Amino acid sequence: MTSAKKHIALLGSTGSIGTQALEVIASHPDQFEVEVLTAGSNAQLLIEQAQRFNPNVVVIGNEELYDHVFAALDPLDIKVYAGTAALCSVVQMDTIDMVLTALVGYAGLKPTIAAIEAKKHIALANKETLVVAGDLITSLARENAVNIYPVDSEHSAIFQCLVGEFHNPIEKIVLTASGGPFRGFDKVKLARVTKAQALKHPNWDMGAKITIDSASLMNKGLEVIEAKWLFALSARQIEVIVHPQSIVHSLVQFKDGSMKAQMGLPDMKLPIQYALAYPQRLSSDFPRFNFLDYPQLTFEQPDIETFRNLQLAYDAMNKGGNMPCILNAANEVAVEKFLNDDIGFLEMSDLIADCMHKVSFIEKPSYEDYVHSDLETRELAKALKY
C-alpha cells in the first residue's frame, strides 16, 4: 500500500518517548517525514537529531541556548526558534500532518491546544494535557474534527481493543499496572526508599518523572483520568489491576461480558508506531513475545492504602473541575522535591493531599482558570514543609 508520507512535528524529541519515536520514524522513511523537532534544554542532542533528520524547523525551549543551536543548524538551512510562544506557533504550520506531544507534564498543554486549533491530529504521549484540562481538550478536538491517538501503552491497548467495536458499548476497562519497584512494600519500608531505588523500574525504560510516578502509582492515577476523557467513561467503568509481568497492557469488557486484551512485550516503540501509522499496522523488527518465557501471568489488587496516590487521583477525577489540575501540579512539585532529596517518598502523597485540600476549587474552569490553578498549586506546594 503506497501513500503520501505523514509529516510529523515531534514535541519533546530528546526525551525517552521522543528518541524512541525517531527510531520508529527512521525505520519507515517511506511513511514518515520529520517536519519539526523541539526540546527543552538538551541542545546538543537536538542538534544531532536535526543534523540526522533534517527537519524544516527546530525549537529550543530554553531561550539562552538559541544562539548555540542557531549556529549549528543555520548552515543546514534549518529554521531555529526558541521559547514557548515559538512552540505554539510552529505546531500550526500548514506542512504538518500530525503532532506527537511527548513533552513532560503541564508544559504539554498550551502547544497541544494550539495544534488542535490548527486542526492537526494528535499522537498524545503527554497524559497530563488530558489530566489538567480534559473537558477543554476533548471539546476542542470535537469542534476541530481532530483525532487524538493515545501513545501510552495502556491507552493504546484500549484503543487497539476497540478497533471494530466503536459502536458497541463498553461495560468497563481494566488498566494494568506493573506495581513498580516497590510492589508489596508496607509504609515502613516505603518511608525509607531512596531516589536511586525509585528510579529503577522493573519493566519499562522511561524518563525520571514518569519513573517516579510509576513507583508511587501516580502514573496509574493520571492514566485513569486520561482514560476517562479518551474513551468517554465514568469512574466506575475504570478499574486498575496490578500485573507485574507487563505483558497484558490493558483490557476492555463489553456489555455481553466478553473481554479483549492487547498483549506484547513491554516496548514503547509499538504504541508509538501504532499511533503514528494508524489505521495501518507497519512491519517491525521489535522482539516477539514467547508464551513459554512467561509460563505464569499474575494479577492482584493495587494497595491503595499504602500507595495513596492512586486513590487521590480517583478522588480528583470524581470531584472534577480544576481538581485534577491541582493534583497534577502538586505531583510535579512533589516529584521534583523527592528527586532533590527535599521530601521522602511517602511525603509526596501528603503534599498532594494538602494541596487538594487547600487550593481554591473551581467547578467549571476556563483555560485561564487552569493556568491560575496550576500557578497557585505550585506556589503552595513549594512552600509546604514536612
pLDDT in tens, 210-268: 899 999 999 999 999 999 999 999 999 999 999 999 999 999 999 999 999 999 999 99
Cα separation, 164 vs 73, whole angstroms: 45
List residues bridging with 150 in a β-sheet. 124
In this predicted structure, what is the pLDDT of residue 3? 57
On whether the CB atoms of residues 370 and 325 are closer than 8 A, the answer is yes
Q: For position 309, what pLDDT does the model report?
A: 97
pLDDT of residue 202: 72
Q: What's the mean pLDDT in 266-272? A: 95
Whole-angstrom distance, CA of residue 286 vs CA of residue 283:
9
| Nearest of 254, 273, 265 to residue 289 by alpha carbon | 265
- pTM of the complete model: 0.94
Instruction: With a cut of 90, say whether residue 380 has pLDDT above it.
Output: yes
55-106 residue pLDDT tens: 999 999 999 999 999 999 999 999 999 999 999 999 999 999 999 999 988 8
Please give the order of strands across the beta sheet that includes 259-263: 238-242, 170-177, 248-254, 259-263
**pLDDT tens-digit series, residues 158-195:** 999 999 998 999 999 999 999 989 999 999 999 999 99
The chain-wide mean pLDDT, for the chain, equals: 95
Continuous H helices in the chain: 16-27, 43-53, 66-73, 84-90, 109-117, 128-143, 153-162, 187-190, 195-198, 208-216, 218-230, 269-277, 308-319, 323-339, 347-358, 367-383
Percent of the chain residues past pLDDT 90, beyond the cut: 94
Stretch 269-297: mean pLDDT: 96
Task: Say whether pLDDT at 2 is over 70.
Answer: no
Please check the confidence at residue 203 and state whether its pLDDT lies above 90: no
pLDDT value at residue 207: 78
Q: Is it the case that residue 376 has pLDDT exceeding 60?
A: yes
Q: What are phi and psi of 158, to 5 degrees?
A: -60, -45
Query: What CA–CA distance (Å, rounded) separates 216 from 218?
Result: 5
Q: Is the pLDDT of residue 341 over 80?
A: yes
Percent of the chain with pLDDT over 70: 99
User: Residue 1: which pLDDT band, with cuts at 50, 70 and 90?
Assistant: very low
